[in-house]
Amino acid sequence: MQVRAYSTREVADLAGLPEGRVRSWARAGLVTPHRDERGRLRFSFQDLAVLRTAGRLLGAGVSVRRVTRALSLLRSQLPEGRPLSAVRVLVTGERVLVRDRLASWEPESGQCALDFEVQAVSAPVAPPILAERPPRSEAERARTADELYQAALDLELAGRTEAAREVYEAVLRCDPARVAARINLGRLLHAAGRTADAEAMYRAALEQEPQSALAAFNLGVALEDQGKTWSAVEAYRAAIGIDESYADAHYNLSRLLEAQGDARGALRHLNHFRRLMKGE
């Protein structure tokens, strides 16, 4: 089975981070993506787990510099072959704490933490389940959708894609306007070979959020995989029209234009892709 690899744009969206921050942490070695045959960065599940942890630390008010230092130190403290995604990183007060099955400690000082203290703030939370009674108020629906969305992301990281699809569907039943859940569900449907269903999901996402470059790009890939190359060209052009810096869209568009005999257009987008890649 082929290991799922994520683009810079995808991990940035899933982790709630700017793409520039993702690239910066990749250069610093905080995550270790590889480059594919086209020279593009590709991130693993483990990289995504680390970036989501970093994003949560930033959301808890920890500075970028401190997040970088704490996670870099933690990487050096773990046994060889054990990824950062194998431990739980959290914040209590002003302290960054780490917990695994055997110990709890502060990565910045290396000091052990009292086990009961960490357990109080890091007890695992079971993925939320919708009650038989649907949420009634708008605030309740939004809160439930948020909890379900985070649970779906966690299920993805655990490799439980079928369960993640079901939870994304629950998110959309609770909040049909949740575009990020619709795009992620489309991506999982696409990975499962259900490209027509993925196409429909991406089109629905674009109807809700016409300025989503990610939805337009993913639509292009789904169309291309179904042999609808002319429609795929238009989808990639739409993605670039929304975000001219979308490197993967330039590359895919260049490839399709070349196949259609438009050598000049293909070269233009290939050169744009190369300029963007140098910036990575």
Hey, where are the domains in the chain? 8-122, 177-279
Residue 125 has pLDDT above 90, yes or no: no
- What count of other Cβ atoms lies within 10 Å of the Cβ of residue 226? 14
pLDDT band at 137 (very low <50, low <70, confident <90, very high): low
The confidence score (pLDDT) of residue 38 equals 76
Q: Which of 16-25, 99-108, 188-197 has the lowest mean pLDDT?
A: 99-108
CATH code of the domain made up of 8-122: 1.10.1660.10
CA 130 vs CA 56, 133, 151, 173, 245: distances in Å: 24, 8, 12, 10, 39
Helix axes 64-77, 19-28, angle to 10 degrees: 40
Task: Give the angle subtended at the CA of 141 by the CAs of 137 and 143, to the nearest 5°.
Answer: 115
The confidence score (pLDDT) of residue 119 equals 40
The DSSP code sequence of the chain is -PPP-B-HHHHHHHHT--HHHHHHHHHHTSS--EE-TTS-EEB-HHHHHHHHHHHHHHHTT--HHHHHHHHHHHHHHSPTT--GGGSEEEEETTEEEEE-SS-EE-TTT--B--HHHHHHHHPPPPPP---SSPP-SHHHHHHHHHHHHHHHHHHHHTT-HHHHHHHHHHHHHH-TT-HHHHHHHHHHHHHTT-HHHHHHHHHHHHHH-TT-HHHHHHHHHHHHHTT-HHHHHHHHHHHHHH-TT-HHHHHHHHHHHHHTT-HHHHHHHHHHHHHHHHH-
For residue 212, give every residue at least 6 positions away whose Cβ sits within 8 Å of its Cβ, in sequence order, or none. Answer: 179, 183, 205, 206, 242
Domain 177-279 sits in which CATH superfamily?
Tetratricopeptide repeat domain (1.25.40.10)
The confidence score (pLDDT) of residue 242 equals 93
Spatial separation of the C-alpha atoms in residues 55 and 153, rounded to whole Å:
13
Q: Find out whether 12 and 18 touch, Cβ atoms under 8 Å.
A: yes
Average pLDDT over residues 234-246: 93
Give 166 or 84, the one with higher predicted confidence: 166
The confidence score (pLDDT) of residue 245 equals 85
pLDDT tens per residue, range 17-34: 888 888 888 888 888 888
| pTM listed for this prediction | 0.64
Q: Find out whether 92 and 58 touch, Cβ atoms under 8 Å.
A: no
The confidence score (pLDDT) of residue 127 equals 47
- Top-ranked range on mean pLDDT: pick from 5-19, 26-40, 221-235: 221-235
Residue 111 has pLDDT above 50, yes or no: yes
Residue 102 has pLDDT above 80, yes or no: no
The confidence score (pLDDT) of residue 93 equals 60
Q: Find out whether 70 and 96 touch, Cβ atoms under 8 Å.
A: yes
Average pLDDT over residues 255-259: 92
Spatial separation of the C-alpha atoms in residues 15 and 191, rounded to whole Å:
20
Residue 90 has pLDDT above 70, yes or no: no
- Top-ranked range on mean pLDDT: pick from 3-12, 80-89, 94-103, 190-199: 190-199
Average pLDDT over residues 197-225: 94
The confidence score (pLDDT) of residue 131 equals 43
pLDDT band at 87 (very low <50, low <70, confident <90, very high): low
